[in-house]
Amino acid sequence: MRSWRIDLAGGLRRLRDAVYPGVCSLCGEGAGGGACLCRGCADSLPGLGEHHCATCGEVFDGEPAPGFSCPNCRDQDFAFDFARPALRRSDGALELVHALKYGRRLELGRELAALALRAFDDPRLDAARDGCWPLVPVPLHRSRRRWRHFNQAEEIARPLARLTGLPVSLALRRVRRTTAQTRLTRHERQRNLRGAFRVVPGREPAAGAVLVDDVFTTGSTAHECARVLRRAGAQNVVVVTVMRG
């Protein structure tokens, strides 16, 4: 016998869809289910495919050898094990990320989380799921958070936790405000971020942690976060983002 709660939930969903039919943020067509991204547009966003850097997710033509690391990563001693973006850079993916981050479209957090879930198809993340490693969103400085009113990494991490069954841990705090990194080189970014993060006392990870952010670009932020987490006791740190920048 079906539970009355299931019947009620189904009725509420049908009512919601009738009153607030979902509209796709990319094509403007109906999305259904109160969604902000239709299935067609979601499926059209390009994933990494098989030919990408094993360290940072940069996509390459041809067929690199298994475990291939790109020239940008070979000389880097990252504190994280690897970064796994779910999507390659595209106009559609960038539009969604910017709509959340700068347009304050918080409802897109669950859509971006569903896209980020694709990263967990990578078997290297099985250890994180089996070990129930916490999802640790990259934090904002309190001044930036006051201005924005939210942290986009948290808005992605919380629905991603429901999809993966992994807990969310706000284990990191940004203790120093840094200058904008857009025009800085990788070396300048790493120097700019040095000492910007601390682990919150009592939230030190043990076996491992999954850093969550919207975009992976040079890896400087992820590296500094992972370095701090490792110093606090994390044995493994991996990175999951929606998109490769």
Rounded CA separation 14/22 (Å) = 12
Q: How many residues does the chain have?
A: 245
Same domain assignment for residues 220 and 149: yes
* Average pLDDT for 195-205: 93
Same domain assignment for residues 67 and 100: yes
Same domain assignment for residues 54 and 40: no
Same domain assignment for residues 95 and 18: no
Q: Is the pLDDT of residue 189 over 80?
A: no
Distances (CA, A) of 118 to 45, 123, 181, 221: 11, 11, 28, 22
pLDDT the model gives residue 2: 43
Q: How crowded is residue 160: how many other Cβ atoms within 10 Å of its Cβ?
A: 27
Q: How many domains does the chain have?
A: 2
pLDDT in tens, 40-67: 999 999 999 888 999 999 998 877 677 7
SS3 147: helix
pLDDT the model gives residue 8: 52
pLDDT the model gives residue 6: 45
> Element (H or E) spanning 229, and its range?
helix 220-231
Same domain assignment for residues 105 and 130: yes
pLDDT in tens, 100-157: 999 999 999 999 999 999 999 999 999 999 999 999 999 999 998 999 999 999 999 9
Same domain assignment for residues 29 and 53: no
Query: Which residues form the domain of 19?
Result: 1-44
Rounded CA separation 66/40 (Å) = 31
Same domain assignment for residues 39 and 79: no
pLDDT the model gives residue 53: 94
Same domain assignment for residues 130 and 210: yes
pLDDT in tens, 8-37: 544 555 555 554 568 999 999 988 777 999
